[in-house]
Structure 1
Amino acid sequence: MGRQDIHNFDMPVLCRNCEVRHGGLCGALDADQLLTLSRHTRMVRRPAGDELIADDTEITRYANLMRGVVKLSKMLEDGRQQMVGLQFAPDFLGRLYATQNRVTAEAASEVELCMIPREALEKLVAEHPALEHRLLEQTLRELDEARDWMVTLGRKTAGEKVASFLYMVALHIDPLNRERKTIIFELPLSRADIADFLGLTIETVSRQLTLLRKDGVISVENSRRFTIPDLTRLQGRCG
């Protein structure tokens, strides 16, 4: 048995069976470090619609998103709400070193989360620079994606916005199958949520989805199950 096999054997069972571990924050940890972290973590499942984080509340724990989709939103003083982002496995949920949550996080689909107390994770980050580096990489990736999305919202046509949204979901919703040419997924948002996210009306979203379906770029079953037969073709409709 090689050294890597021994490390895998010593790794916590939960971590060995984790499908997204290598892509998330835990990918920066070895077996001993994962064992230390696992003493503080717990797995939870939440149904679609559950509030996971409330805006302007104290941060007491973080989470690694293992499965499902989380939508992030901001609430205005008059009660209006604006969706500002989506998170997919293996994204990190929370803002490291902050004291207050800055967004509301809600389960857009059924989600599975690996919950980590704030003190435990911040202590591990301080002791292991590779973990801090991994979290910084994720933060910078999210920043790049937010800037790209600003271009989508500010400059693209309605058709390009809807195509860009579907392309983003297709790329991220299943981290184990991102290289496949044909992607099948359950749409995690309602038409109303998509319209809110894209700054369009529900009617416009529905009309653009119909055009994509008629052109053979997508197929839709039961209004929520989407098939993208050729991801490159969808990308071509994103502008």
Structure 2
Amino acid sequence: MYMERNQPDFGAAEWSLPTRCAACGVRMASLCGGISAAALDALNRIGRKRVLRRGEALIWQGDVADQVGILHHGLVKLSASLEDGREQMLGLAFPADFVGAIADRPSSHCVTALTDTELCVFPRSALPGIVEAHPDIGQALLSRAYDELDHMRRWMLLLGRKSAEERVASLLLQFAARGGCMAGAAVPLPLTRQQMAELLGLTIETVSRKLTAMKRDGVIALPDLRSFVIQDRAALSTIAAEYP
């Protein structure tokens, strides 16, 4: 990790960090976890907290975004629409994820809150100068871009080749992996059955049937409509055609 001479690293006392950053629960999992304290301080000076209510957009398709951000809490969807109003969900962003792009061009998709969401947002126009002054921020952004590209390739495989059952199981595993829950604990399911169907390219009836079948077979439990419990992770991974 890049460090300035005589600059304390993140193993030093937390007082060396900006107060807001020291208290951030997703800092080490986000791009901020791989940059120097000086770079973190530079981001802190231009950043501010923003709360999006459910359904509120951070970035609109076709607009040049004036803000980018890092999720602290909540969930946002990435979606694109055709001229006739048909919408396709392209993916989800979870806490610690970076949303938006620093390029000065219209966005190809919307970024919309699916739940009440809190972000640390930065003016997009200020980022090139920050990256030039602190190259480790640029390296962290590049690493995130590679991760996102890899995720999109795997998502293309899911939509293009996986069966309906495999898609639903893969989505459950994704929520479990990003939820940070203990084994056997209920995993929050922030999407409705309809939203799951839209994201996976299925019908709501198909999603409901596949969830019911996994519950019947003892793979998952469904204590309510907005959570699930993995009872047999190896079986769920096998259904998803993924390694456990």
Using the size of structure 1 for normalisation, the TM-score is 0.90
Identity of aligned residues (%): 39
From 113, 118, 128, the equivalent of 1:107 is 113
Q: How does 1:208-227 map to 2 (within 5 A)?
A: 208-227=210-229
- The one-letter amino acid paired with 2:82 is L
For the 8 Å contact 2:39–2:137, the answer to whether it is kept is no
Equivalent-residue separation in structure 1 for 2:193 and 2:143 (angstroms) = 32
Question: Structure 1 residue 228 and structure 2 residue 234: aligned?
Answer: no
Alpha carbons of structure 1 residues 71 and 114: separation in structure 2 relative to 1, 3 Å: same
* Aligned counterpart, 2:134: 128
Three-state SS of the structure 2 residue aligned to 1:124 is: helix
In structure 2, the gaps of 5 or more residues are 1-7
Three-state SS of the structure 1 residue aligned to 2:190 is: coil
Equivalent-residue separation in structure 2 for 1:183 and 1:102 (angstroms) = 37
Question: Structure 1 residue 96 and structure 2 residue 102: aligned?
Answer: yes
Equivalent-residue separation in structure 2 for 1:209 and 1:76 (angstroms) = 30
Three-state SS of the structure 2 residue aligned to 1:39 is: helix
* Aligned counterpart, 2:4: none
Three-state SS of the structure 1 residue aligned to 2:46 is: coil
Equivalent-residue separation in structure 2 for 1:189 and 1:21 (angstroms) = 25
From 188, 191, 195, the equivalent of 1:189 is 191
Alpha carbons of structure 1 residues 235 and 59: separation in structure 2 relative to 1, 3 Å: same
For the 8 Å contact 1:181–1:230, the answer to whether it is kept is no
Equivalent-residue separation in structure 1 for 2:93 and 2:63 (angstroms) = 20
Equivalent-residue separation in structure 2 for 1:154 and 1:33 (angstroms) = 40
- The one-letter amino acid paired with 1:236 is T
Equivalent-residue separation in structure 1 for 2:98 and 2:130 (angstroms) = 15
- 1:155, distance to aligned residue in structure 2 (A): 1.3
Q: Supply the RMSD in Å over aligned alpha carbons.
A: 1.9
Q: How does 1:146-165 map to 2 (within 5 A)?
A: 146-165=152-171
Alpha carbons of structure 1 residues 217 and 73: separation in structure 2 relative to 1, 3 Å: same
Q: How does 1:65-104 map to 2 (within 5 A)?
A: 65-104=71-110
For the 8 Å contact 1:49–1:107, the answer to whether it is kept is yes
- The one-letter amino acid paired with 2:56 is D
State the Cα deviation string for residues 63-89 of structure 1 (Å, max 9, x = none): 011122111110101111111111112
For the 8 Å contact 1:89–1:173, the answer to whether it is kept is no
From 45, 49, 52, the equivalent of 2:51 is 45
For the 8 Å contact 2:18–2:41, the answer to whether it is kept is yes
* Aligned counterpart, 2:123: 117
State the Cα deviation string for residues 203-224 of structure 1 (Å, max 9, x = none): 1100000011111211112211
Equivalent-residue separation in structure 1 for 2:169 and 2:96 (angstroms) = 23
Three-state SS of the structure 2 residue aligned to 1:113 is: strand
What is the aligned residue count? 234
From 14, 20, 23, the equivalent of 1:17 is 23
State the Cα deviation string for residues 31-65 of structure 1 (Å, max 9, x = none): 23222221211112222222221101122111011
Ranked by relative contact order (alpha carbons within 8 Å, sequence separation 6 or more), the top structure is 1
- 1:6, distance to aligned residue in structure 2 (A): 5.2
Structure 1 stretch 180-189 or stretch 215-224: which is displaced more?
A: 180-189
Equivalent-residue separation in structure 1 for 2:141 and 2:197 (angstroms) = 31
